[in-house]
C-alpha cells in the first residue's frame, strides 16, 4: 500500500481540478483571466501547503504544551527566485507567524522550531529537495472528424 494519491485533471473550458484522496477538490489555472473563475496557481498551492502544515503543527504543539492558542496566522512569501534557471524556481521562503496564545513568545518560538525541525512534512520535504520521477501513459484520443 503506497502513499495517498492526489490527482489533477483538466476541466472543460480550461483550468484543472485537483482531487484529494478524501474527495476534496480545488480549482487551478495558469493565469486568472478577467471575468473567469479565480483559481489557485501551482506555486500558490505550494506556499499554502507550507504555511498550512506549519500552522497545524504549531497549533498542535501549543495545545499540547497548554499554551492555549486562540488564533494563529501565517503569511508566506517567496524571498528569492532564480532568473537563470528554467522555470524561475523559488530559492527561499519567509514565513511570518502571528499567534495569540497564553504561552507567550517563548512558547511560540519553541513550537515553531519543533514544527520546522521535526514535524512539518511539507517544510522538511522542501528543504531536502525530493527526487521526482515521471511515468508516462499515453491514451489514444478519439479519431478526428
> Cβ–Cβ contacts within 10 Å for residue 81, how many?
14
Report which listed range, 31-40, 62-71, 76-85, 119-128, is most confident.
Answer: 119-128
pLDDT the model gives residue 116? 97
Whole-Å CA distances, 121 to 11, 35, 42, 60, 142: 30, 36, 18, 14, 41
30 falls in which pLDDT band (50, 70, 90)? confident
Helices and strands per DSSP (H, E), number in the chain: 3, 5
Average of per-residue pLDDT across 16-44? 83
Which domains does the chain carry?
39-128 (3.30.300.20)
pLDDT the model gives residue 36? 60
Distance CA 55, CA 74 (A): 7
Average of per-residue pLDDT across 4-14? 89
31 falls in which pLDDT band (50, 70, 90)? low
Distance CA 85, CA 107 (A): 40
Average of per-residue pLDDT across 69-81? 92
pLDDT the model gives residue 80? 86
Q: Does the structure show a pLDDT above 60 at 119?
A: yes
Amino acid at each position: 500500500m503506497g502513499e495517498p494519491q492526489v490527482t489533477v485533471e483538466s476541466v472543460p473550458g480550461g483550468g484543472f481540478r485537483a482531487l484529494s484522496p478524501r474527495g476534496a477538490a480545488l480549482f487551478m489555472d495558469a493565469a486568472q483571466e478577467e471575468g473567469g473563475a479565480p483559481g489557485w496557481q501551482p506555486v500558490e498551492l505550494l506556499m499554502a501547503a507550507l504555511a498550512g502544515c506549519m500552522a497545524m503543527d504549531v497549533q498542535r504543539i501549543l495545545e499540547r504544551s497548554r499554551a492555549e492558542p486562540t488564533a494563529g496566522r501565517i503569511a508566506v512569501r517567496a524571498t528569492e527566485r532564480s532568473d537563470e534557471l528554467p522555470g524561475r524556481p523559488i530559492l527561499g521562503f519567509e514565513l511570518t507567524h502571528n499567534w495569540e496564545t497564553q504561552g507567550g513568545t517563548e512558547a511560540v518560538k519553541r513550537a515553531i522550531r519543533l514544527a520546522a525541525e521535526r514535524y512539518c512534512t511539507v517544510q522538511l520535504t522542501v528543504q531536502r529537495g525530493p527526487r521526482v520521477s515521471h511515468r508516462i501513459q499515453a491514451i489514444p484520443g478519439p479519431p478526428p472528424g
